[in-house]
Chains A and B, each alone.
Chain A
Amino acid sequence: MDTTAPAPTPAPPPPPAPPTDAQQRRAARAATRPGDRVFLGLSRGSGILLLVIMAAIAAFLTYRASLVLAKNDGNFFTTFEWNTNLNPPDFGIAVLAYGTVVSSIVAMVIAVPVAVGIALFTTHYAPRKLGGLIGYVIDLLAAVPSIVYGLWGALVLVPHMNGLFGWLDHWFGWTGILDWQGGAPRSLLTVGVLLAIMILPIVTNVSREVFRQVPQMHEEAALALGATRWEVIRMSVLPFGRSGVISASMLGLGRALGETMAVATVLSPTFEIHASLLDPGGGTFAQNIASKFGEATDQGRDALIASGLVLFVITLLVNGAARAIIARRKEYSGADA
């Protein structure tokens, strides 16, 4: 819009009394070169286009979701069913929300400590060359497509989980959470382990970059005070890197929440919730959409779109929470170092 105004030839524009700052702006614009203005227009146009596309997608999704939600016989939030071909349809997201959150939490519990460990080892313990090599290999993990993880999980990981499941059941079965009925080990715990491997690269890499940024002075000062290497890490590296590690974990969590094909291949999804993490069952939003979409009727697709909107909201909430945590820990961000 601004590009259409013929700025370089404004011979007679001054009306009675234009405000001074507007005049200045116009003068500044006249001074800019055409290339700058074209670029300004292009970038502003792309920005607006992005907003329009996002709004259109959101409106479309909300509209399609509202069509089927009006007909839904069950309660969208508490029904343990997904029968969208019935008339009226009967479906709810309780199982999907539970499965998505639980498998992601399991993944985080396993992946974050390991990732921080690898990041510390490669930046502070390993010889420089070895650290670089390990970092490179971890990067390669991120390049493996998720369906390959899924195939590996189904063919290699699942059969090998039998031993671990037996052990957990033997020693921790009394907790109820780790009680095993003896089904094939294709449960939320297995999915969590697989997701942990999948999100390891991103958490490790971001943590590594953060730990590398720790001011040398901090570490040297701690060493000068007689700290051991572990004390240096505990007193200067970890507090400095905390917000970075949290944002890295949130990036990983975002991937875990949305992972589709690997979960669909490894999990044994059913519309039930079991207290035990070892019993097959549950499901995730993305897995459910991927497996139901192909044969779904229009009504079924609308229902899947509605469930996708919930995943979107959950992801937004998680990101918001992460930003809040990071904002509260600003004093460690290193800006004053």
Chain B
Amino acid sequence: MKLQRKNRLRALSLGVVAVSGALALSACGSDDTSGGGDSTASAKADTSAIKCDNAKGDLLASGSSAQKNAVDAWVKNYTAACENVKINYKPDGSGAGVTAFLQGQTAFAGSDSALKPEEIEQSSKVCKNSQAIDLPMVGGPIAIAFNVPGVDKLTLDAKTLAEIFDNKIKTWNDPAIKALNPDAKLPSTKIQAFHRSDESGTTDNFTKYLKEAAPGSWKYEGGKAWQAKGGQSAQGSSGLAQQVKQTAGAISYFELSYAGDGIKTVDVKTEAAEPVAATTENASKAIAAAKVVGKGKDLSLQLDYSPKADGAYPITLVTYEIACEKGNKADTLPATKSFLNYIASEDGQAILADAGYAPLPAEIATKVRSTIATLS
């Protein structure tokens, strides 16, 4: 009796395994054929313009997390076209990226701020009697997000922003805010200004703007760490976006790409006639007005923080790729050049706007491309 039951059970379980296995296998098979066919077709359409130039090997890079989403999209398209190259970009932060590059661990670095003079000096060690250069590659508006009950549209200027983030202006119905927004129904809610608790290139760029555009109201040194007293803080851009969403009376700053899901952003009053909204298009206009201040082949940009041009959004962040002008390592040079060429190309820049970034204006993009061509 017992033995029989055991056998029957065993047969049953074997049957179950066989059937489910067959099902699983057939499911896999059909998925593979359809999915594989689709993806190769679309990849070919996107990436036909990419020149691989016999590049091969592993490309290591690290740096700014602000450009992570852009790099991911580029890497996906590029490696689909050039199958011999593997690119590994670690978004460790600009500081870590520059450090790793100066130690010779990576082929290029991504950074939210241009190299400092002492860093350029250090770079002669990795770049063999040459130096590292900044190549502007991605721009992005730093949006000022707010959550004020009953207010949909808000205009602020540099001076008010500085005083809000320095806790000089404490409530939303302050006369200074009223003067800029005569039509808005401003409540008496307390202002809760949120800043980054970690060190960040976004903080660096935002406080640089406050310092340049409102020198009388913002007296702090600036840098990646927040220096003003008071206010509240949160970890990372996503942390700030979360706080703005759930805290009434909150105001904060982060890259535009984090401002989804009905988060409202401030229009910034500049020297131009109309206040400017935070959009990728307006950020590109601001970059077009920037001056190149780097020496030689270095293309580091100096933004105009009080632009007179219409629709130029002043609180804009430019992230750079950093590579050696000469003396790049022989085994990674072809891949580095070919990849940088692609991301600076029209195709490469065209995919940026979808991801919340601002493409380079044509004039600067041309300069970047001609500089990349001379890397050796």
Contact = CB atoms under 8 A, between A and B. Distances in A.
B200 A295 contact: yes
Given A82-B225, A86-B221, A268-B197, A294 B242 contact: no
Interface in B222-281: 223-225, 227, 229-235, 239, 242-243, 246-247, 250
Given A184-B243, A264-B197, A272 B95 contact: no
Nearest to A82: B225
Interface in B186-230: 190, 192, 194, 197-201, 221, 223-225, 227, 229-230
27 contacts: A82-B225, A83-B227, A84-B225, A85-B223, A85-B224, A85-B225, A154-B242, A158-B246, A181-B190, A184-B232, A184-B246, A184-B250, A186-B243, A264-B197, A265-B235, A268-B194, A268-B233, A270-B229, A270-B230, A291-B199, A292-B198, A294-B92, A294-B95, A295-B198, A295-B199, A296-B95, A297-B95
Contact of B198 (A86, A270, A294): A294
B223 to A, nearest CB: 5
B311 interface: no
Interface of B: 92-96, 99, 190, 192, 194, 197-201, 221, 223-225, 227, 229-235, 239, 242-243, 246-247, 250
A166 to B, nearest CB: 14
Contact of B230 (A82, A269, A272): A272
Contacts of B239: 154, 265
Given A83-B221, A181-B190, A184-B247, 10 more contacts: A184-B192, A186-B232, A264-B235, A267-B197, A269-B197, A270-B229, A280-B232, A294-B199, A295-B95, A295-B199
A45 interface: no
Q: Which interface class (under 10, 10 to 19, 20 to 34, 35 or more) fits A?
A: 20 to 34
Contacts of B225: 82-85, 292
Contacts of B250: 184
Interface of A: 82-86, 154-155, 158-159, 181-184, 186, 264-265, 267-272, 280, 291-292, 294-298, 300
Contacts of A159: 246
A272 B247 CA distance: 21
Contacts of B198: 291-292, 294-295
Nearest to B248: A184
B229 to A, nearest CB: 6
Nearest to B95: A295
A183 B242 CA distance: 15
A257 B190 CA distance: 33
Contact of B199 (A154, A183, A264, A292): A292
List the 10 shortest-distance A-B pairs measured between CB atoms, nearest first: A295-B199, A291-B198, A268-B232, A295-B95, A294-B93, A295-B93, A184-B247, A269-B197, A85-B223, A280-B232
Nearest to B94: A295
A280 B193 CA distance: 12
Given A83-B225, A184-B192, A270 B94 contact: no
Contacts of B221: 83, 86
Contacts of A155: 242
A294 B232 contact: no
B197 A183 contact: no
Nearest to A186: B232
B261 to A, nearest CB: 14
Contacts of A292: 198-199, 225
A60 to B, nearest CB: 18
B193 to A, nearest CB: 10
Residue in A186, A268, A272, A280 whose Cβ sees the most chain B Cβ within 10 Å: A268
Contacts of A85: 223-225
Given A83-B225, A154-B239, A184-B250, A294 B96 contact: yes
**Most-contacted residue by chain B among A85, A271, A294 (CB, 10 A):** A294
